[in-house]
Structure 1
Amino acid sequence: MSNNSFNIFSFQGKMKTLHLSWMAFFITFAVWFNFAPLLQSVKETLGLSTEEIKTLLILNVAITIPARVIIGSLTDKYGPRLVYSALLILCSIPCFTFAFSENFLQAAISRFALGFIGAGFVIGIRLVSEWFPHNELGTAEGIYGGWGNFGSAAAAFSLPTLALLFGGEDGWRYAMVVTGLLSLVFGFIFYANVTDTPKGSTYFKPANLTAMEVTSKGDFFLLLIMKIPMYAALALLAWKLSPDNVGMISNTVCYVIYALLFALYLYEWSQVWKVNKSIFTTPVPELHQYKFKQVAVLNVLYFATFGSELAVVSMLPLFFLETFELTPVVAGMVASAYAFMNLVSRPGGGWLSDKFGRKSTLLILTAGLALGYLLMAQIESSWTLWVAVVAAMICSFFVQAGEGAVFATVPLIKRRMTGQIAGMTGAYGNVGAVVYLTVLSFVSYQVFFYVIAATAFLGLLTLSLMTEPKGKIAEVNEDGSVTLIDVGAH
């Protein structure tokens, strides 16, 4: 661990790593969400229907589900420096192809591929956890997540104006190219300036990349159950694109996708068995055990927190535009208030977790989140606009502080698997987004907000199963010696 003090204005040691990490995450989010604020222009230029636009919104978050799991594993294996740099550089390509797409199919393929950049988040979670001690970790992860997440608000705020500056009906294309160039250039800057761990620290790697390790028989089955929603969300997406809905793919292709997803799930069963079969014959020593139920609870909470944020950030400009009859630029700016809260609320959730314990913080924030969405469901055109914006900001405080509290806990479960755990929990956020956006395509805005509130109450129930992280976790060095890592004294 790096010993220098926690000074947000410093650009040395661990603080330099933290600042470069949130900047990388900020750029991934600006690229990932460069579409929502320019939605109207894209719709008009490419001549798309409202149904096709909604499909693009869902495609935007689809591949991120498996991508977060894959990127999490790659980060544990190859280190955050290499994986983050490569992601930023490679994902600039679909950003450029989307900017110059001429029809729905080109736009859909580019947007689908671009969903990969949404996996950047999990890389920084592992990187930050390498540089900060447990009593600063929640705050550091909160700053990383919150300031990085602000990329979506920055995109909502600046891109419509940038498109107007470029002018003409192709202004939106050039605005998107700017975000792609940022991603490309910063990939090289990141690689040149970051190291995976402080000097002299060990970067612990998991023994297996193909499946997550568990340490008890019950956890083995719980892991297999928790994998199902990720495949179900992708199947839901395929159904959304089938002739029953938007008709982007044929029934045959849809059934092929279902069969592939089922085959992939069976393959994953075999990998989980291969990695963990020894626990059925040889118990894992208590020193090396961890509780997978901790991961499961955090998955459910991130489904409700980040899943709802992704869905709401995608639909909010349109919601304000239609409810209050605003122009696209004003709607984009007003809607950015929701994501604007990320600057303080996500670090706030992490800080509260450091100070008052992980579980109690999560309980309070999840309850606030449920009530926040019940409030959002009441918004209608008779409301004064600024009151509606304040309601959105109150709701978003609890949503984002909840995300900060979730990822204040993730790195305290098992250090060498932090990427894999962050990948799975992060993926659940995207599962939530696909589910919520699919619900939105069938119901009114009010019902949509009620559905999110209901899932938040479900999250509250699962929290009773969580145990407060305390004591130490053990990791084995390459020479066989054991390092004990502090995870909390609460």
Structure 2
Amino acid sequence: MSAVPAAEAAPNLKQGQFRNLILATLASTVGFWAWTIVGPLSKRYANDMHLSPGQTAILVAMPIFVGSIARVPVGALTDKFGGRLMFTVILGITAPLVLLTGVVGQLNNFPLLVVVAFFLGIAGTVFAIGIPFCSAWYESHRKGFATGVFGAGMVGTAVSAFFTPRLVAATGYSATHVIIAVIVAISAVLCWFMLRDSPARAGVPVEPVVPKLKAAFKLKVTWQLCFLYAVVFGAFVAFSNYLPTYLANVYSYDPTAAGTRTAGFALAAVIARPVGGTLADRFGPKIITLLSFGGTIVLAMLVALQPSGEHVYGPLFLLMALFLGLGTGGVFGWVGRATPAKNVGTVGGIIAAAGGLGGYFPPLVMGATYDPESNSYFVGLTLLAVFCLAAFLLALVVRHGGRKAEK
């Protein structure tokens, strides 16, 4: 008699878990590509519209803003409706927004392009969908691995930095946006027909969104992890979007060369993220997160000195990307441990929103503190080190961070 409830309490997660994890990661990659198509073309927009560094920073940061805020309701809606439906809807909305970005970008109308870039940010909410979707497919001791692998979908920023300017050079500005929009639309269709929500969701009562959000905001750990993720993921997003502008101003790279190097930065962080998640499962998220922030503090200050020679500053940026990638995996390795299972999507969405917001402000700060006379971003990079130090100290006191999750 007791065998039936036991079976129901422990659904078979093995069948289909890896396939759904990979499909969700690919969907995230496409979403991140669409989310970050403005950054690699920032120099083109700046030249065509005669934008100041501050205006360019606003344009680059605008998709990040709405992509961050909207992660909160999207994460809660994923808890309610499931990842299959939400991936399909978000990517389906994103495809025409990519086309609209291409159309408006040719009008040389800065205010209108900022408005369109704002709405394009909805593509960034795919992250808040995939965290609960993939986490539900894996056992508690492998959730760090699952969220780490899914987090590798942020390679879409590298894809955007590398391919977007090259597609523009090869096919033209308008054709590039058509190609990307078609890829996004195809991904939406594949999500609907090929993704499946975890059987662990079966029988779980669906709660109203607003009470779930209120309960999530009442958790102390929600706020703690929000700050940690805002710093580490925010730094990654900020660099992935603003690095082409930084390299153009400081080292005089053209868009294609800057995009190639930005892609390398993003790829290094992407590779490190699942490593960070896996190491968090094994050694605990606290030590991995502390290592991430400690390394970033040192590297941010070294980069702030603006060393000459790519053989010097190139490895410094790559090391910074690796430390940031470890941290993104480490911090999200904390979510499944410290959050009630039924609220993982809601809390994950809030934390993901904090990470996106963390990426919204740095480009604005970099643009505002840039010294054109010396081509210096010293103030902005010093502020990064300061915030990393604050996050390092906070990580020391967050619970559930040891080698084994606390019961």
- Whether these two folds match at TM > 0.5 is yes
Does 1:111 find its partner at 2:38?
Answer: no
Q: Distance in 1 between matches of 2:112 and 2:179?
A: 20
Q: Kindly indicate which of the two structures has a greater share of residues assigned to helix.
A: 2
Q: Which residue of 1 aligns with 2:7?
A: none
Matches within 5 A, 1:285-324: 292-324=219-251
Does 1:378 find its partner at 2:305?
Answer: yes
Q: Is the 8 A contact 2:284 2:402 kept in 1?
A: no
Does 1:421 find its partner at 2:347?
Answer: yes
Q: Deviations over 1:354-393 (max 9, x none)?
A: 110122222222222222222221224xx11132111001
Q: Which residue of 1 aligns with 2:252?
A: 325
Matches within 5 A, 1:105-254: 105-146=111-152, 148-166=153-171, 171-198=172-199, 202=202, 204-205=204-205, 207-212=207-212, 223=217
Aligned residues: 387
More displaced stretch, 204-213 vs 131-140: 204-213
Q: Which residue of 2 aligns with 1:43?
A: 46
Q: Which residue of 2 aligns with 1:72?
A: 75
Q: Which residue of 2 aligns with 1:348?
A: 275
Q: Distance in 1 between matches of 2:379 and 2:42?
A: 23
Does 1:338 find its partner at 2:265?
Answer: yes
Task: Report the aligned-residue RMSD.
Answer: 2.2
Q: Which residue of 2 aligns with 1:460?
A: 392
Q: Is the 8 A contact 2:58 2:363 kept in 1?
A: no
Matches within 5 A, 1:21-60: 21-46=24-49, 48-60=51-63
Q: Which residue of 2 aligns with 1:391?
A: 316
Q: Deviations over 1:168-223 (max 9, x none)?
A: xxx2232122222111111010111111113x7536356331144677xxx9xxx4
Q: Distance in 2 between matches of 1:469 and 1:349?
A: 13
Give the secondary structure class of the aligned counterpart of 2:176: helix
Q: Is the 8 A contact 1:67 1:116 kept in 2?
A: yes
Q: State the shift of 1:400 in Å.
A: 1.3
Segments of 5+ residues of structure 1 without an aligned counterpart are 5-11, 225-291, 472-486
Q: Is the 8 A contact 1:134 1:488 kept in 2?
A: no
Q: Distance in 2 between matches of 1:458 and 1:149?
A: 25
Segments of 5+ residues of structure 2 without an aligned counterpart are 1-10, 371-376
Q: Is the 8 A contact 2:61 2:361 kept in 1?
A: no
Q: Which residue of 1 aligns with 2:358?
A: 432
Q: Is the 8 A contact 2:283 2:402 kept in 1?
A: no
Give the secondary structure class of the aligned counterpart of 2:209: coil
Q: Structure 1 residues 206, 405: closer, same or farther in 2, change over 3 A?
A: farther
Q: Distance in 1 between matches of 2:87 and 2:214?
A: 27
Q: Is the 8 A contact 2:68 2:124 kept in 1?
A: no
Q: Structure 1 residues 34, 88: closer, same or farther in 2, change over 3 A?
A: same
The AA in structure 2 aligned to 1:339 is: A
Q: Structure 1 runs of 4+ off > 6 angstroms?
A: none
Give the secondary structure class of the aligned counterpart of 2:348: helix
Q: Is the 8 A contact 1:30 1:151 kept in 2?
A: yes
Q: Is the 8 A contact 1:26 1:151 kept in 2?
A: yes
Q: Is the 8 A contact 2:232 2:355 kept in 1?
A: yes
Q: State the shift of 1:95 in Å.
A: 1.1
Q: Deviations over 1:408-459 (max 9, x none)?
A: 1212311111111011111111221222222222213121111111111111
The AA in structure 2 aligned to 1:387 is: V
Q: Which residue of 1 aligns with 2:21?
A: 18
Q: Which residue of 1 aligns with 2:3?
A: none
Q: Is the 8 A contact 2:269 2:324 kept in 1?
A: no
Q: Is the 8 A contact 1:206 1:416 kept in 2?
A: no
The AA in structure 2 aligned to 1:192 is: F
Q: Deviations over 1:322-341 (max 9, x none)?
A: 22222221111112221011
The AA in structure 1 aligned to 2:124 is: G
Q: Is the 8 A contact 2:285 2:402 kept in 1?
A: no
Q: Is the 8 A contact 2:288 2:326 kept in 1?
A: no
Q: Structure 1 residues 361, 59: closer, same or farther in 2, change over 3 A?
A: same
Match of 1:408 among 329, 333, 352: 333
Give the secondary structure class of the aligned counterpart of 1:368: helix
Q: Is the 8 A contact 2:75 2:128 kept in 1?
A: yes
* Structure number, greater radius of gyration: 1
Give the secondary structure class of the aligned counterpart of 1:299: helix
Q: Is the 8 A contact 1:365 1:402 kept in 2?
A: yes
Identity fraction in percent: 24
